[in-house]
């Protein structure tokens, strides 16, 4: 399987994450991508190529221009305002407040984010742009005839909506790739999100559409980030009704239950009959993940990779989360080798 990777991911290198009332080293750190790349080389997964540049147009197909402009300028404006640390939002237009876009960068950070866990610093925008190019380059390989490809994206994307960042995500790499398939003639695309966390951004982007089916297996939002989306009764709206499927699962969920949800999702993908499948590949379902509560073993990643291969459709893997950095390479690449059989 082809892997697309760029060193530009290292430009995403914030010092701090607000967690547990402290500023800690970020869970979403550069070594994650390095370990996955090393493992892909070790098992000789296939060629590893750098991305082409696709520019801003595919991003504007999913994200609001005002949001993109904000991400491009946030850090320089934060520094110009005299701040010393990473840019972290602290005020949001919640419930009864007005949804007005302020002029000040502090207000814009609140308007354009879903939480305080995702700091911004120098290079965040460039790295997020490069991650989109990684996804689109892998998508193009499939459009050109490859049966599968691996977009080793960093930063991840599935928590980013049309106009909000958070959960370590800025541009929704998987959503942008899905739109690329459609623009090139695909009639239907399925996005199967196996990251531990609900893919709230991807769900929001496609919630009212019937040309992208979104399915997510994740920690129950009653007990887990992102808390405010991902319940089983969220199934799409308007002509998108029935094209969103959520499988929230509780603490301690292991492969017996998780694999059954995966089977059910695969059955629904077959009914939908997509021209391509995008797997939002987070491996934070692993038993040792520091911020998650599922109990998958390393071998389970191979098992579900093999299950995905049975769908027998063009499949684009887009890297999302996973924070047990010592095992992240083994677990992510196990899905891909399991898929290849
Ligand atoms: N105190 C992805 O997996 N919150 N994002 C963690 C820890 C955010 C995860 C809080 C988790 C976001 C792509
Ligand atoms: Zn996650």
Ligand 1 atom closest to the CA of 157, numbered from 1 = 13
The pLDDT, as a whole number, for residue 276 is 99
Please report the pLDDT score of residue 24 as a whole number.
98
Cβ pair 294, 254 in contact under 8 A: yes
pLDDT at 189: 99
The whole-model pTM stands at 0.99
- Please give the Cα distance from 186 to 213 (Å, whole number): 13
If pLDDT is split at 50, 70 and 90, which confidence band does 10 have? very high
Q: Specify the pLDDT at position 234.
A: 99
Please tell me if the CB atom of residue 300 comes closer than 6 angstroms to any atom of ligand 1.
Answer: no
Report pLDDT digits (tens) over 175-208: 999 999 999 999 999 999 999 999 999 999 999 9
pLDDT band at 147 (very low <50, low <70, confident <90, very high): very high
Average pLDDT, the chain: 98
**What mean pLDDT do residues 101-130 have?**
98
Each residue's pLDDT tens digit, 297-332: 999 999 999 999 999 999 999 999 999 999 999 999
Q: How far apart are CA 160 and CA 154, in angstroms?
A: 13
Q: Tell me how far apart the alpha carbons of residues 111 and 324 are, in angstroms, rounded to a whole number.
A: 31
Answer yes or no: is the C-beta of 289 below 6 A from any ligand 1 atom: no
pLDDT digits (tens, 9 = 90+) for 54-104: 999 999 999 999 999 999 999 999 999 999 999 999 999 999 999 999 999
Residues marked as catalytic:
159
Q: What digits encode the pLDDT tens for the residues 230-264?
A: 999 999 999 999 999 999 999 999 999 999 999 99
pLDDT-derived band at 333 (thresholds 50, 70, 90) equals very high
CATH assignment, 2-12+27-51+137-340: 3.40.800.20
Ligand 1 atom 8 nearest Cα: 167
pLDDT class of 338 with cuts at 50, 70, 90: very high
pLDDT attached to residue 140: 98
Rounded mean pLDDT, 264-274: 98
ipTM score of complex: 0.98
- Domain ranges, ordered by start, for the chain: 2-12+27-51+137-340
Q: Is the CB of 117 under 6 A from ligand 1?
A: yes
Q: Cα of 127 to ligand 1 centre, how many Å?
A: 18
């Amino acid at each position: 399987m082809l892997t697309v990777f760029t060193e530009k991911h290292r430009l995403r290198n914030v010092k701090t994450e607000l967690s547990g009332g402290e500023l800690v080293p970020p869970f979403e750190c550069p070594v994650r991508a390095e370990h996955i790349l090393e493992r892909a080389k070790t098992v000789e997964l296939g060629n590893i190529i750098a991305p082409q540049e696709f520019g801003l147009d595919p991003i504007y197909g999913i994200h609001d221009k005002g949001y993109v402009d904000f991400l491009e300028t946030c850090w320089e404006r934060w520094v110009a305002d005299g701040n010393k640390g990473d840019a972290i939002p602290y005020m949001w237009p919640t419930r009864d407040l007005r949804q007005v876009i302020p002029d000040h960068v502090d207000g814009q950070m609140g308007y354009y984010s879903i939480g305080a866990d995702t700091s911004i610093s120098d290079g965040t925008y460039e790295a997020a742009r490069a991650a989109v190019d990684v996804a689109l380059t892998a998508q193009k390989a499939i459009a050109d005839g490859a049966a599968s490809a691996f977009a080793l994206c960093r930063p991840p994307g599935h928590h980013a909506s049309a106009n909000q960042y958070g959960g370590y995500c800025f541009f929704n790499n998987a959503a942008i790739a899905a739109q690329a398939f459609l623009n090139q003639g695909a009639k239907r695309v399925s996005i199967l999100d196996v990251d531990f966390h609900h893919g709230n951004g991807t769900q929001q982007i496609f919630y009212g559409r019937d040309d992208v089916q979104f399915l997510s297996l994740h920690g129950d939002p009653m007990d887990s980030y992102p808390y405010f989306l991902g319940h089983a009764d969220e199934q799409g709206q308007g002509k998108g009704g029935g094209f969103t499927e959520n499988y929230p699962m509780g603490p301690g969920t292991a492969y017996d239950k998780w694999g059954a949800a995966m089977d059910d999702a695969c059955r629904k993908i077959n009914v939908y009959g997509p021209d391509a499948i995008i797997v939002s590949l987070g491996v934070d379902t692993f038993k040792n993940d520091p911020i998650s509560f599922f109990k998958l073993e390393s071998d389970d990643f191979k098992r579900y990779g093999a299950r995905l291969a049975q769908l027998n459709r063009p499949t684009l893997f887009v890297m999302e989360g996973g924070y047990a950095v010592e095992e992240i390479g083994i677990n992510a690449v196990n899905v891909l080798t399991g898929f290849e059989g």
